[in-house]
């Protein structure tokens, strides 16, 4: 019959078509000197000042340079586009700029680039995404072609941290002519790699910039070409890594990492991001169960954080006692510790008149449900009945800021910066995210955040963190870590700030 014959020929044709496809050559990345990497999320437009996602920021740091650079291995600030810098008074920093630096478009770097870039991005209508990164700058003044001064709008202890690669310098003529959209479409920087091709959010091709200035703290890259693609499905990434078409992937969940270990090179490293449970203004206002400090202490005693960190966090995760990451400057560790002790938790609840337990509404966002359920299950063992509400991050934070969430379980990355100013003040400094509103702590932080004296800062942060722990305002959970999947012939060193530094990578 005609239809039968048609069907058969279609099927045979399709099979033959598949069978005759030549096997694909595995992309020999080392042989082609191309580092093939994949992200799960689409990188944002590459105007660094407008973006928040780590993927876009990683690419940006390869394309752009800042005035300074922080060597995370030593904690030392190094000269980058600025050769030297000094505070001429507590509110003014003077920079001597490096000469002979070229932008990717051939333009020469000078004071005008610093002036145009920073004076543009501080304007509110430019829409710089993280205001904390620029709102401390009042204006930039040009002294001569290679000297500039930053006049600060307010004292800010994180200024030097911010200048270290977080505030890239754009070529002034190109930036003035093309604006943010131009920088996003065809970014031009002085970085070790230049962008040669992009399909926004999908595929980016970077090539080593052969004229990258000598003496750059980033050094001269060993790998000539980087191709970064977005592959949303992790299983597809694993398959590509195993078949040699990818050399670098990251954020592999712990359970998957242990399975993949037998087939690919897995590297695990801690990062700045930490998980926490924050108790809201109810903690300080009275009238709620968690208004009683004994109840909050009972909660921390009741949760087996050690076990949760071990099971869900991964190899490099550790239980935290202080409301910060130990890798950060000023993160005092000598604070009140709450060991896992359900009996003590029950006793504290009894003391607080809640022997029969109570109901606690806990919202969680950007945390895996099983972790939230583990916390709730531990609390149930001492009689605290947790109502878990899973929210999108934006919805959870909105409710938190409105004050309608008694307990929020989430995580915080401190922008990947190793200084407690980027976590303490957000949650306890009196801003919208500070629902505890403890005036003593806010006052201590005010001094610490604005002082240039590291000892003063340390002492104040220490006092604040001790009080937070004593009053059990926070339940610090554990620090996050990242699993990287690497090709066997790739040398790659991870860093705790979640910025992949491919300029330091090399082939074995």
Partner 1 sequence: MFRFLLKRLFVALLVALAVSSISFSLAYLSGDPAIAIAGAGGSAKDAELVRQLYGFDRPIIVQYTDWIGQALQGNLGTSYYFSMPVSQIIAERIPVTLVLGSVSFIVALLLALPLGIMAALKPNGVLDRIALLIAVSGQAVPSFWLGLILIVVFGVWWNLLPISGADSWQGFVLPVVVLSYYALPTLMRLMRASMIDVLQANYVRTARSKGLGMTTVILRHGLRNAILPLVSVAAVQLGILLSGSIVIESVFALNGLGRLAWESLLRSDLPVVQGIILILSLVYVLLTTLADLINAWLDPRIREA
Told to check if 28 binds partner 1 by CB under 8 A, we report: no
Asked whether the beta carbons of 317 and 311 are under 8 A apart, the reply is: no
Told to check if 404 binds partner 1 by CB under 8 A, we report: no
Applying CB under 8 A, the span of 36-44, 136-144, 374-382, 492-500 interacting with partner 1 comes to 36-44
Told to check if 401 binds partner 1 by CB under 8 A, we report: yes
Told to check if 166 binds partner 1 by CB under 8 A, we report: no
Report d(CA 208, CA 191) in Å as an integer: 9
**Least distance from partner 1 to the Cβ atom of residue 97, Å:** 28
Among 413, 437, 450, 451, binds partner 1 (CB under 8 A): 413
Told to check if 200 binds partner 1 by CB under 8 A, we report: yes
Site for partner 1 in 244-263 (CB under 8 A): 245
Told to check if 403 binds partner 1 by CB under 8 A, we report: no
Kindly tell me the sign of the dihedral angle through the C-alpha atoms of 189, 195, 200, 205.
negative
**Least distance from partner 1 to the Cβ atom of residue 21, Å:** 5
DSSP string, 359-405: EEEEEE-SS-HHHHHHHHHHHHTTTEEEEEEE--HHHHHHHHHHT--
Among 129, 225, 294, 467, binds partner 1 (CB under 8 A): 129
Among 201, 224, 254, 430, binds partner 1 (CB under 8 A): 201
DSSP string, 32-56: TTEEEEEESS----S-GGG---HHH
Name which of 114, 133, 112 is nearest 51 in CA terms. 133
Asked whether the beta carbons of 505 and 226 are under 8 A apart, the reply is: no
Residue 26 or 214 with smaller CB distance to partner 1 = 26
- Collapsed DSSP state (helix, strand, coil) of residue 318: coil
Told to check if 151 binds partner 1 by CB under 8 A, we report: no
The dihedral formed by the CA atoms of 319, 324, 326 and 330, expressed in degrees to the nearest 10? -150
Report d(CA 448, CA 69) in Å as an integer: 23
From residue 386, alpha-carbon distances to 102, 359, 382 in Å are: 58, 6, 11
Told to check if 342 binds partner 1 by CB under 8 A, we report: no
Told to check if 165 binds partner 1 by CB under 8 A, we report: no
Told to check if 286 binds partner 1 by CB under 8 A, we report: no
Site for partner 1 in 101-120 (CB under 8 A): none
Residue 34 or 110 with smaller CB distance to partner 1 = 34
Side-chain-side CA neighbours of 457 within 13 Å: the count stands at: 19
Told to check if 439 binds partner 1 by CB under 8 A, we report: no
Name which of 104, 108, 101 is nearest 67 in CA terms. 101
From residue 214, alpha-carbon distances to 81, 165, 191, 210 in Å are: 11, 17, 12, 10
Told to check if 15 binds partner 1 by CB under 8 A, we report: no
Applying CB under 8 A, the span of 48-56, 141-149, 306-314, 455-463 interacting with partner 1 comes to 48-56
Applying CB under 8 A, the span of 3-11, 114-122, 167-175, 368-376 interacting with partner 1 comes to 3-11
Q: What is the number of residues in the chain? A: 508
Q: Which residues bind partner 1 (CB under 8 A)?
A: 1-4, 6-7, 10, 18, 21, 23-24, 26, 41-42, 44-45, 47, 50, 52-53, 124-125, 127, 129-132, 135, 180-181, 184-185, 199-203, 229-233, 235-236, 239-240, 242-243, 245, 366, 391-398, 401, 412-415, 426, 431-433
């Amino acid at each position: 019959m005609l239809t039968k014959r048609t069907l058969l020929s279609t099927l045979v044709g399709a099979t033959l078509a598949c069978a005759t496809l030549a096997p694909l050559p595995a992309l020999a990345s080392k042989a082609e000197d191309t580092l093939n990497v994949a992200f799960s999320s689409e990188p944002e437009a590459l105007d660094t000042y407008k973006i928040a996602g780590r993927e876009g920021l990683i690419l940006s740091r390869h394309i752009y340079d800042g005035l300074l650079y922080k060597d995370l291995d030593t904690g030392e600030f190094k000269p980058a586009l600025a050769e030297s810098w000094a505070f001429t008074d507590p509110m003014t920093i003077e920079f001597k700029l490096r000469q002979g630096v070229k932008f990717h478009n051939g333009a020469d770097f000078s004071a005008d680039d610093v002036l145009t870039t920073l004076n543009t991005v501080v304007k509110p209508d430019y829409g710089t995404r993280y205001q904390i990164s620029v709102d401390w700058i009042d204006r930039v003044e040009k002294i001569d072609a290679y000297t500039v001064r930053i006049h600060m709008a307010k004292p800010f202890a994180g200024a030097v941290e911010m200048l270290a690669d977080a505030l890239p310098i754009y070529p002034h003529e190109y930036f003035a002519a093309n604006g943010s959209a131009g920088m996003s479409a065809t970014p031009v920087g002085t970085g070790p790699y230049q962008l040669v091709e992009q399909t926004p959010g999908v595929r980016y091709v970077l090539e080593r910039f052969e004229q990258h200035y000598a003496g750059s703290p980033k050094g001269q890259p060993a790998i000539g070409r980087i191709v970064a693609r977005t592959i949303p499905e992790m299983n597809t990434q694993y398959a590509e890594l195993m078949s040699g078409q990818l050399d670098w992937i990251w954020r592999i969940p712990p359970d998957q990492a242990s399975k993949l270990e037998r087939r690919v090179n897995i590297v695990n490293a801690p990062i700045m991001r930490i998980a926490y449970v924050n108790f809201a203004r109810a903690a300080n206002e009275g009238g709620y169960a968690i208004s009683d400090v004994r109840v909050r202490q009972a909660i921390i005693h009741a949760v087996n954080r050690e076990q949760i960190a071990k099971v869900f966090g991964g190899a490099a995760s550790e239980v935290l006692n202080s409301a910060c990451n130990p890798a950060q400057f000023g993160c005092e560790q000598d604070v009140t510790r709450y060991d896992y002790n359900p009996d003590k938790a029950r006793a504290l609840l009894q003391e607080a008149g809640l022997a029969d337990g109570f109901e606690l509404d806990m919202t969680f966002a950007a945390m895996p449900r099983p972790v939230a359920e583990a916390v709730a299950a531990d609390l149930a063992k001492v009689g605290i009945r947790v109502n878990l509400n899973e929210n999108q991050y934006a919805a959870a934070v909105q409710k938190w800021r409105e004050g309608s969430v008694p307990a929020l379980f989430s995580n915080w990355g401190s922008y990947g910066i190793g200084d407690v100013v980027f976590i303490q003040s957000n949650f306890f400094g009196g801003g919208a995210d500070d629902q505890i509103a403890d005036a003593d702590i806010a006052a201590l932080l005010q001094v610490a955040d604005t002082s240039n004296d590291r000892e003063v800062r340390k002492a104040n942060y220490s006092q604040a963190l001790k009080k937070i722990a004593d009053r059990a305002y926070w339940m610090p959970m554990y620090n996050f870590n990242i699993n990287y999947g690497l090709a066997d012939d790739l040398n790659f060193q991870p860093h705790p700030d979640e910025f992949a530094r491919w300029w330091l990578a090399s082939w074995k």
